[in-house]
Amino acid sequence: MQYVAPLWLPGGNLQTIWPALYARRVEAPLPAYRRERWGTPDGDFIDVDFLDAAGSGAKPLLILFHGLEGSSKSHYAEAFAAFAMVRGWDYAVPHFRGCSGELNLAPRAYHSGDYEEVGWILGRLHAQHGGPMLAAGVSLGGNALLRWTEEAGDEASKLVSAVASISAPLDLAAGGSAIGRGFNRLVYTRMFLSTMKPKALAKLAQHPGLFDRDKLLAAQDLYAFDNVFTAPLHGFRDTDDYWTRGSAKPHLHAIRIPALAVNATNDPFVPAASLPRQDEVGRHVTLWQPAHGGHVGFPLGAPPGHVRGMPERVGGWLAQHLSA
């Protein structure tokens, strides 16, 4: 697989921001998603959006786990939907809790190492889908998907034929440090906290006393936010414990099904030095680390460009591993 960014869009930040805001996602309008609400074992719910392929028969199902504060409407999710539609595949975007437009009920949200939730979602999809399944995850969703694949080991093949992560911060501490500095802190951190803090405060209104409101309001980076909210709500001692236990990188050797990890080396969120080397992963893992692409960008074409190239490359790789 190869990727070279357009000359008119240089640098990791432009290759991150422009595609998310302005690049074309699809060539033709997508059909409306069909939403299902699933009750969870702990009395909460998640919403899953489906794009059903026309015709009959047991088609492959492509599942996309979105990134931090993402949804089925994210630029990459719609680009993957267009890819699945052209292939005649079914397509599903499970929303992590609180990301579907409605606050979830339980005293928890979601996090980068949420592999138990990923496993439950895949298990339910497998039970109701008649054909083979493939899974991809973007950024936070990519790390969570690989953590599930690592934990599942040989059992993963019972649910999915292959998995792929795109722009995942496989070393959460390195990614968290990078996004907390300089331009990243001013732009990306501020953007994420602008939605994460209100959701956390709404969660506090649901469950009074859940965390320290003043400490949350004072948080100016993801490290501090995770220390007050994400880590304690999900069973971690603190941010350091969460980032250590949630990172996929140390366990990539445990993966037992075909897995692709895509990371641009100019990704503003994911330092190139933190990326795994081929000798650090198992034989089932393929690393693709192009020099360009930014964070979930990978734009192509003349202005305004499009973002269909990455789903086509990743989806094509996944298709090679479809089981009968």
Q: CA 270 to CA 139: how far, in whole Å?
A: 10
For residue 262, the Cα-to-chain-centroid distance in whole angstroms is 12
Question: DSSP H helical segments within 96-250, as ranges?
Answer: 115-128, 140-152, 172-179, 182-184, 190-206, 213-218, 222-225, 231-233, 239-246
Helices 75-87 and 309-319 sit at what angle, rounded to 10 degrees? 50
Tokens 């439950």 belong to: 120
Name which of 301, 284, 291 is nearest 262 in CA terms.
Answer: 291
CA atoms within 13 A on the CB side of 121: 28
- Active site positions, annotated: 139, 267, 295
Tokens 């990539």 belong to: 252
